[in-house]
Amino acid sequence: MRRLSLVRADREKGAVAIVVALVMTLLLLCLGIAIDLGASYWKRQELQNGADAAALALAQGVAPGACVPDSVTATSWVQGNVRNDVIATGTATCLAVNKVSVRAATVQQHWFLPIMGRGSSDIAADATVMWGVPIAGEASLPIAISECSFLHRVDGVDVPIDGNITIWMDHPSDPFGDACHEAYPDGGFGWLKTVGGKCAARIDIAADGTGGVGYSKTGTPQPDECQPDNSFKRAVLSGEPVLIPIFDVAPGGGNGAPISISRFAAFILRGYDIHNKLGAYPASGICGTKPSSELKSCLYGEFVEYLSFEAGMELVAPKPGDQTYVIKMTD
């Protein structure tokens, strides 16, 4: 009986060893598959980065002109973003005169999946970018500037803008009588009504160029939403241009009066003196001597030709003479 027990124990040990070997093989196979799948995932992430970079580079290279399907440049950007992969390619396709798509593709070699009959996989990622003139979106500063101020017009004559200028927010009782005074609505002061509880305004310009509408906010102080979140100070500190709506007609008056928006312009805000609440930044007197005691608030900065990457803007194809245009990623 003792010998029989020893034989049975030896057999059980052998069976356990076989089960352990099978389980270990299965675990190693699963680990190998996970490694291959993980490598494929990260390769696709790199391809996506390459496609995004290539599409943005192609758009920047031609905007505001017409699309050019430059696959050579696209491939260079793709390979620059995919590590140790000289076979990765970038194929550019023009979807419209102001829209380009890039497909980044490569072949990923596997280490363990060949056991299951799959030695490699084709991996690809796509990115699409468009560019154009902004016609709708959120203005990050809830303020509108008259066409007259934008053109820096004095006594009806356009004055070339060279460097920083001061734009005063006109007052309806302003005795100064500057050439831009009549452009503002009664009580509007250039402020726009905010949306969504943010220090921002929603603007929508008609795509046919006939002009869109913004809505004025009465009262000298800036909108209440701009108190805790001083977007104006952040704009100065960033040194980057912000898109500001330009209006040409302001019929009516009072709170909610419609303002006809003709375009967006890029403005580098270098300082401001907002009467009553925001105060002056970065220093008192930033706008210089007040031309009238009734003019209490001002912006100081420079209009510039500008390329923006604001994703939330709706765009139309640019036309000759446009100075502000946006590049954005699309689905």
Phi and psi at 32, nearest 5°, equal -65, -45
Burial of 3 (0-12, 13-18, 19+ CB in 10 A): exposed
pLDDT at 111: 80
Query: What's the first-to-final CA gap in the chain, in angstroms?
Result: 77
Strand, helix or coil for residue 36: helix
Strand, helix or coil for residue 170: coil
CA distance 77 to 220: 50
- pLDDT per residue, tens digit, the chain (331 aa), is 455 454 555 555 566 667 666 777 677 667 767 877 888 899 999 999 999 999 999 998 888 889 999 999 999 999 999 988 889 999 999 999 999 999 999 998 888 777 777 788 899 999 999 998 888 888 888 888 777 777 665 444 555 555 777 887 765 555 444 455 554 544 335 778 787 778 888 887 765 444 555 555 555 556 777 765 578 888 899 888 888 888 776 555 556 666 677 788 888 899 988 877 778 888 888 888 877 776 778 888 888 776 677 667 888 888 777 777 888 888 6
Distances (CA, A) of 260 to 142, 201, 235, 307: 15, 14, 25, 24
Cβ neighbour number for residue 189 with a 10 Å cutoff: 23
Burial of 176 (0-12, 13-18, 19+ CB in 10 A): middle
